[in-house]
């Protein structure tokens, strides 16, 4: 048995987070099926029950021919107009639970718990060994975000495979979907729905590419400075997709890096994010991404790809570098700790291909994501290095903590499975 958590927005921008227990080796197939929901219109709904029902139907629908591979699947959905701003969950284990009746029951070495409109879990465990979970669920769990996290931690402590879906209960709340490796809030999934995908009307566009693991103030200041100096209409932050996995480096999941980036830029109307690379299942090459990106822009839009001095020197080795510079210009920014580059050499290189490169001095902030990851791991403060909201996200998701290395490893396995 294996577990996974996956999130997406439907065509009409309804965020859905799904957790699933499936037979070994079936994760990729399940995710492929779920991906079809991106083309789905969630549509009109009259009450929260309708939302539950609709959710159940669409997930059931896309999984219908692989049902025997699924042990249990559930989801949490965010619907802004509904009372409490959240839709429902459903837990289903073959013919067992649904979200309709409150119950805790035991079947095939598993414990299932369902509270309608609040949450559901499934864990592979004997009844006796899951008593603390069952008691908490029955007596205290109310679907709130706080209690959901407590329940999640209890499930983790148990050590066995599990999934959890909650609805966030209450006004302005969104639920979560989780398994041991991954916890996704419907609220952060919503970023996938509000993401701008059409860049028509913008004549001067900056693309800030990066791993953003995590995004920090060095990135933000660099982007803002380029935006001002080159008079850009918009800067699009684009977290990288699967490129880094080639080096077997541990990188936080694309969804999480995308969420952190979206949270960091949301208050700046000139900034926006694109999940074009993180949503792409294969290995991403910048030249291909830019070619795709151009299709969403005016044909005469000027695009500048923003890079720091450290990246610029490696860039000429990127795959299809010449195609890349035919698609966009570059804005090379200074970065403390990296020597300034030979401007003439690069200017000539770009001009020879009819492209251009601008060199831009940005206020020196000696901050790197590697430093932040290490500081978190060592228990040092990262305050003022990155936005408070991103710091909060890192805490809630326990990113970069030492004992979470294993989690990144399994996440890596999942991604590698997807791309192989
Ligand atoms: P890591 O330490 O994991 O490599 P990083 O801090 O270098 O992370 P990246 O996501 O690799 O961040 O960088 C994205 C882009 O932002 C790159 O072009 C990089 O040169 C630039 N950049 C990162 N930090 C700064 C900074 N402090 N000042 C200017 N540019 C920066
Ligand atoms: Mg870097």
pLDDT, one tens digit per residue, over 196-227 is 889 999 999 999 999 999 999 999 999 999 99
CB-CB contact of 361 with 332 (8 Å): no
Among 320, 342, 360, identify where a domain stops.
360
Residues 6+ apart with CB under 8 A from 140: 147, 150
Nearest CA to ligand 1 atom 13: 210
Residues 176, 239: one domain? no
Residues 308, 345: one domain? yes
Residues 120, 242: one domain? no
Residues 208, 186: one domain? no
Q: Tell me if 386 CB under 6 Å of ligand 1.
A: no
Specify the range with the lowest mean pLDDT, choosing from 41-50, 230-239, 322-331, 338-347.
41-50
Structural domain includes residue 18: yes
Q: Which atom of ligand 1 is nearest to the CA of 217?
A: 27
Q: Tell me if 363 CB under 6 Å of ligand 1.
A: no
pLDDT at residue 378 greater than cutoff 80 = yes
CB-CB contact of 177 with 86 (8 Å): no
Helix, strand counts (H, E) of the chain = 14, 16
Structural domain includes residue 367: no
How is residue 219 written in tokens? 């990135």
Structural domain includes residue 399: no
| Residue showing tokens 């008593």 | 131
Residues 199, 188: one domain? no
What is the CA(104)–ligand 1 centre distance, in A?
A: 49
Average pLDDT along the chain? 86
Residues 120, 258: one domain? no
Structural domain includes residue 171: yes
Q: Tell me if 331 CB under 6 Å of ligand 1.
A: no
Among 324, 339, 360, identify where a domain stops.
360
Using alpha carbons only, give the angle 319, 320, 321 rounded to the nearest 5 degrees: 90
What is the CA(255)–ligand 1 centre distance, in A?
A: 19
Structural domain includes residue 311: yes
What CATH number is associated with residue 273? 3.40.50.620
Number of domains in the chain: 2
Residues 54, 151: one domain? yes
Give burial (CB, 10 Å; 0-12/13-18/19+) of 172. Answer: exposed
Q: Which one of the ligands is nearest to 310 CA?
A: 1
How is residue 241 written in tokens? 């997709």
pLDDT tens-digit map of 14-73: 888 999 999 999 999 999 999 999 888 887 776 666 777 778 788 888 888 888 898 888
Q: Which one of the ligands is nearest to 238 CA?
A: 1
Interatomic CA distance for residues 110 and 392, integer angstroms:
34
pTM of structure: 0.77
Nearest CA to ligand 1 atom 27: 218
Q: In what order do the strands lie in the sheet with 103-107?
A: 103-107, 110-115, 119-124, 162-166, 176-179, 183-185
Structural domain includes residue 385: no
State what percent of residues in the chain have pLDDT above 90.
Answer: 51
Structural domain includes residue 176: yes
Residues 183, 208: one domain? no
DSSP string, 381-397: --BTTB-HHHHHHHHHT
What is the CA(368)–ligand 1 centre distance, in A?
A: 6
Helix (H, G, I), strand (E, B) or coil at 41: coil
Structural domain includes residue 393: no
Range of the domain at 73: 2-192
Q: Which atom of ligand 1 is nearest to the CA of 309?
A: 20
E strand segments, 172-287: 176-179, 183-185, 204-210, 234-239, 271-273
- Sign of the C-alpha dihedral, residues 417, 369, 198, 324? negative
Q: Which one of the ligands is nearest to 312 CA?
A: 1
Which among 197, 200, 118, 111 has a CA at the least distance from the CA of 160?
A: 111
Helix (H, G, I), strand (E, B) or coil at 166: strand
Q: Tell me if 370 CB under 6 Å of ligand 1.
A: yes
What b/e string do you get for 121-145 counting C-beta neighbours within 10 Å, with b at 16 or more? bbbbbeeeebeebbebbeeebebbb
Q: Tell me if 224 CB under 6 Å of ligand 1.
A: no
Residues 163, 253: one domain? no
Residues 261, 333: one domain? yes
Specify the range with the lowest mean pLDDT, choosing from 169-178, 231-240, 321-330.
169-178
Nearest CA to ligand 1 atom 23: 219
What is the CA(210)–ligand 2 centre distance, in A?
A: 7
Which among 275, 110, 268 has a CA at the least distance from the CA of 197?
A: 275
Nearest CA to ligand 1 atom 15: 210
Among 153, 168, 192, identify where a domain stops.
192
pLDDT tens-digit map of 287-309: 999 999 999 999 999 999 999 99
pLDDT tens-digit map of 139-150: 999 888 888 889
Bond before 220 cis per omega within 30 degrees: no
Partners of 121 in beta bridges:
113, 164
């Amino acid at each position: 048995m294996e577990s996974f958590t996956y999130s997406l927005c439907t065509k009409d921008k309804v965020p859905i987070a799904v957790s699933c227990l499936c037979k070994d080796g079936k994760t990729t197939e399940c995710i492929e099926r779920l991906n079809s929901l991106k083309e789905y219109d969630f549509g009109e709904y009259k009450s929260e029950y309708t939302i539950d029902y609709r959710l159940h139907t669409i997930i059931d629908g896309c999984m219908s021919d692989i049902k025997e591979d699924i042990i249990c699947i559930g989801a949490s959905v965010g619907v802004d107009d509904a009372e409490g701003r959240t839709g429902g969950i459903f837990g289903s284990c073959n013919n067992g639970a649904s979200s309709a009746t409150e119950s805790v029951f035991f079947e095939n070495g598993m414990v299932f718990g369902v509270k309608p409109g609040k949450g559901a879990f499934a864990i592979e465990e004997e009844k006796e060994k899951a008593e603390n979970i069952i008691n908490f669920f029955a007596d205290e769990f109310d679907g709130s975000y706080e209690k959901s996290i407590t329940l999640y931690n209890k499930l983790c402590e148990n050590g066995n495979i599990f999934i959890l879906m909650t609805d966030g209960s209450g006004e302005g709340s969104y639920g979560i979907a989780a398994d041991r490796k991954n916890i996704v809030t419907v609220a952060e999934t919503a970023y996938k729905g509000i993401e701008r995908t059409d860049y028509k009307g913008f004549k001067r566009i900056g693309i800030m590419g990066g791993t953003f693991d995590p995004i920090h103030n060095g990135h933000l200041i660099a982007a803002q400075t380029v935006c001002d100096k080159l008079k850009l209409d918009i800067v699009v932050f684009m977290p990288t997709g699967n490129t880094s996995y080639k080096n077997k480096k541990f990188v936080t999941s694309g969804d999480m890096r995308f969420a952190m980036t979206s949270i960091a830029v949301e208050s700046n109307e000139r900034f926006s994010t694109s999940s074009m690379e993180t949503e792409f299942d294969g290995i991403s090459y910048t030249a291909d991404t830019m070619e795709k990106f151009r299709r969403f822009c005016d044909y005469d839009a000027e695009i500048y790809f923003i890079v720091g001095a450290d990246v610029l020197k490696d860039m000429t080795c990127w795959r299809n570098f010449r195609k890349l510079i035919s698609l966009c210009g570059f804005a090379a920014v200074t970065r403390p700790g990296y020597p300034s580059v030979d401007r003439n050499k690069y200017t000539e290189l770009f001009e020879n291909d009819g492209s251009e490169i601008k060199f831009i001095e940005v206020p020196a902030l000696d901050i790197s994501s590697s430093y932040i990851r290490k500081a978190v791991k060592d228990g040092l403060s990262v305050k003022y290095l990155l936005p408070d909201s991103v710091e909060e996200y890192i805490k809630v998701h326990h990113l970069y903590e030492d004992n979470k290395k294993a989690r990144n490893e399994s996440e890596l396995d999942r991604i590698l499975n997807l791309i192989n």
